[in-house]
A = this chain, B = another copy of it.
Amino acid sequence: MPNSKKTTAVQPAPGRRRELLATAAEVFAAHGYNATTVRRIADRAGLLAGSLYYHFDSKESMLDEILTGFLDELWAGYDAVLAAGLGPRETVESLVVESFREIDRHLWAVTIYQKEARHLATQPRFAYLAESQARFEEVWLGTLERGVAEGVFRPDLDVRLAYRFLRDTVWVAASWYRPDGDRTPEEIARHYLSMVLDGITLPADR
């Protein structure tokens, strides 16, 4: 996305939309999509409810745009990691770090995704959520299986269970993470990783 402030004037009028979407995302995240009234978004954005429809087709299309915006960036990040051809452990580490970065950048979208994805995925318009989730599972499961096969992860690992464990563990962080905290997403990711990879007990304990 070209952002050369100073020379070009390519943007048709991206500003207002983006602001409104940010507001909508925040309110959706706070109260849930269904419980959020279009009027609440409008109030927060400083215009009347009906005026939102100049910018968006519907409440649903706002949600759509928020989720696709997030997923597009997420997969860009993931694909870059996967393209690097790392070993299983390093892949897991990089994916987790990348995930925390996305939480940092798309906190509200992640929150919404967590709460709404499951039932939205059943609607045709949001079928891409199901697709994304399927690919997600594929990537993680593959990495874990490779790790077990290569002796990097424990041979007795229940891969499906570990997948859910990792997936939930990471994304649920959106429920308490605040971007203005005193730790960077990378720091939090590292700490998470040390627990996930090595456990919380002292090695001596084993």
A residues engaging B (CB < 8 A)? 30-32, 34-35, 89, 115, 118-119, 151-158, 161-162, 164-165, 168-169, 172-173, 175-176, 188, 191-192, 194-203, 205-206
Contact = CB atoms under 8 A, between A and B. Distances in A.
A118 to B, nearest CB: 8
Given A31-B119, A32-B32, A34-B35, A199 B195 contact: yes
A133 B176 CA distance: 14
Nearest to A151: B202
Nearest to A172: B168
When all copies of this chain in the complex are counted, the total is 4
A175 B169 contact: no
A200 B196 contact: yes
B195 A201 contact: no
